[in-house]
Amino acid sequence: MKALIVYASAGIGHKKAAEAIYNAYKAKNTSDEIVYLDMLDKCNSLTRVAYPGLYIFAVKHLTWIWALLFLMSNNRIFCRLTKKLKLFIESCNCPEFIKYLKGEKFDVIVSTHFYASSMVGELKRKSQIKSKLVTVITDYRVHAYWLSKETDKFLVASERTKEDLINDGVLKEKIEVTGIPVDLKFSVIKDKESIIEKLNLENKELRILIMGGGFGVGPYEYLLKKLADFKDKLGLIFVCGYNRELLANLKGCAEELEFEVSLLGYADNVDELMQVCDLIITKAGGITLTESLVSGLPAIVIKPIPGQEEGNAVYLASKGAVVAKKTPQAIVEFISQVLKNGDILLKMRQSALAEAQGKAADRMVEIAKEIV
C-alpha cells in the first residue's frame, strides 16, 4: 500500500498532527510506502510565504479582521457561493501539488489540513485520482472549510465534533471519534525527579509551563512581572518558540526582577516539561491542548483567538479541563486562587485525563489501512 500523510505548515499544529500519524505508521514496521509531505512545498513561492505569514500577522495584529474572516468563511451559504472561486484560486496556487497527486497514485491520503483535503477532494470529484481520503480535524469544533463530500473518513476529536459534522450533512458512517493525534511520548509516564534534575529546575509550590506556540505569541512579559509577586512559591518555564525577541526580553526582565525562571526557545521535550509541571498557560490550539490533556496537565488559555481557538477553549472548559481568561490580570488572579486551594488543579487534572485519548495516532493508522 502507498500512503501520503500531508499537512500545510500554517502554524505548528497541523504539522505536529501529521508527524504523530507518520511516526505511528513507521512504528508498526509495515512494508507500506509512507510519504510525509508539507503541501506548501509544492505550491508557488508566493503561497509558501504568504499563506502562513498572513495568518500569523492577522492573529497577532488584526484580530478583529481575522474574526470577521473566520465568521464569513464559516457561513455555509457564503461557502457554497464562493466554493468555485476558492477551488480555482487553490488550484492556481498549487499546480505542482496537483500534478504530484495525479502522478504518484496514492492508495490513501491522510490530511491534517483543510487546504489539502479540499484539493484532494476536488481531484476525486473529477475522477482524476482514485485515492481514499482521510481527513483529520485538528480542532474540537468544525469550520466549514473542513467539509468535503469526497472525504471517505473524518477522524475527529470528540462526540461534539462528530455532532457538528452530522449537522452539516455528513453521514455518521463516515465519522469516527479518535481524538486528536499527538506523539505517543505524551502518553508515557516518566520519572519526574530525573527530569527535574536534568533540567536543573527549582522545587517550588507550583510549577507553571508557559507556551505561546511556535511563534511565541502572548502577554508573557506582563505575566512575568506580575507573577514575580509570588516568586517564592512559583517555578516558571517559558517556551518562546522561534520568537528570539521575546526570549531576550524575558531574560532581561527576569534579571531585573531577580526572578529565577527557565527560559527556552523552541523545545523538543515538551512532553517532559508537561510531565513535571502542575499547570500550563498557553494558546488554545487543538494540538497543544490535546497534549496537555494526555499529560493530565490543567490548562489556562490566554484570550482565545476568535474562531477555532475559541471553539477549543469553550468545549474543553465545559469539560472542566481548561479555564479561559480574557486578560493577563485574570490569569494572575486565578493562579493566586490555585495557590490557596490545590483542589482546583486536582479536579482539572481528573477532567483532563477523562477527556484524553492518547492512542489517537495509532487508531488513525489502523483506519487508513482498513479503508483501502
Q: What is the pLDDT of residue 41?
A: 92
Q: What is the mean pLDDT of residues 31-52?
A: 84
Same domain as 217, residue 316: yes
Q: What is the CATH number of the domain that holds 301?
A: 3.40.50.2000
Identify whether residues 43 and 13 lie together within a single domain: yes
pLDDT at 57: 67
Q: Are residues 110 and 6 part of one domain?
A: yes
97 with 245, same domain?
A: no
Q: To the nearest 10°, the Cα dihedral for 291, 292, 294, 295?
A: 120
What does the pLDDT read at residue 59?
A: 64
End-to-end CA distance of the chain: 8
pLDDT at 315 over 70: yes
In angstroms, rounded to a whole number, what is the distance separating the alpha carbons of residues 364 and 147? 19
Q: What band does 43 get if pLDDT is binned at 50, 70 and 90? A: confident
Give me the pLDDT at residue 92, please. Answer: 82
**Do residue 164 and residue 261 come from a single domain?**
no
What is the pLDDT, as a whole number, of residue 291? 96
* Residue where the block lists cell 463516515: 174
Kindly state whether residues 121 and 199 are assigned to the same domain: no
Q: How many domains is the chain partitioned into structurally?
A: 2
pLDDT confidence of residue 165 = 96
The amino acid that residue 47 corresponds to is: T
How far CA 371 is from CA of 17, 132, 134, 157, in Å, comes to: 20, 7, 9, 19
Given this model, what pLDDT does residue 61 score? 67
Query: At residue 36, does pLDDT exceed 60?
Result: yes
Q: What are the backbone dihedrals phi and psi of residue 177, each rounded to the nearest 5 degrees, phi first?
A: -85, 110
Exposed / middle / buried, residue 156 (Cβ in 10 Å: 0-12, 13-18, 19+): buried
- Lowest mean pLDDT segment, chosen from 11-20, 73-82, 136-145: 73-82
Whether residues 164 and 82 fall in one domain? yes
Is the pTM higher than 0.75?
Answer: yes
Task: Looking at the structure, tell me whether residues 163 and 275 fall in a common domain.
Answer: no
Name the more confident of 82 and 235. Answer: 235
Spell out the SS3 assignment of 83-143: HHHHHHHHHHHCHHHHHHHHHHCCCEEEECCHHHHHHHHHHHHCCCCCCEEEEECCCCCCC
Quick one: 23 and 45 in the same domain? yes
Q: Give the residues across from 299 on adjacent strands.
A: 280, 322
pLDDT for 211-252, tens place per residue? 876 555 668 888 899 999 998 999 999 998 878 888 888 899
Phi, psi of 184 (to 5 degrees): -60, -20
pLDDT of residue 65: 74
pLDDT at 117 over 80: yes
**Per-residue pLDDT at 172:** 95
Q: What percent of the chain has pLDDT over 70?
A: 94
Mean pLDDT of the chain: 89
Q: What is the model's pLDDT at position 188?
A: 85
Quote the pLDDT of residue 216: 53
The 10 Å Cβ neighbour count of residue 308 is 22
pLDDT of residue 76: 80
Residue 244 and residue 259 in one domain: yes
Sheet containing 206-211: which strands, arranged edge to edge? 262-264, 234-239, 206-211, 279-282, 299-302, 322-325
Query: Residues 57, 161: one domain?
Result: yes
Domain that holds residue 44: 2-180+359-371
Question: Helix or strand or coil: residue 17?
Answer: helix
pLDDT value of position 50: 66
pLDDT bucket at 303, cuts 50 / 70 / 90? confident
Q: Are residues 74 and 134 part of one domain? A: yes
Residue 10 vs residue 23, higher pLDDT:
23
Average pLDDT over residues 47-61: 67
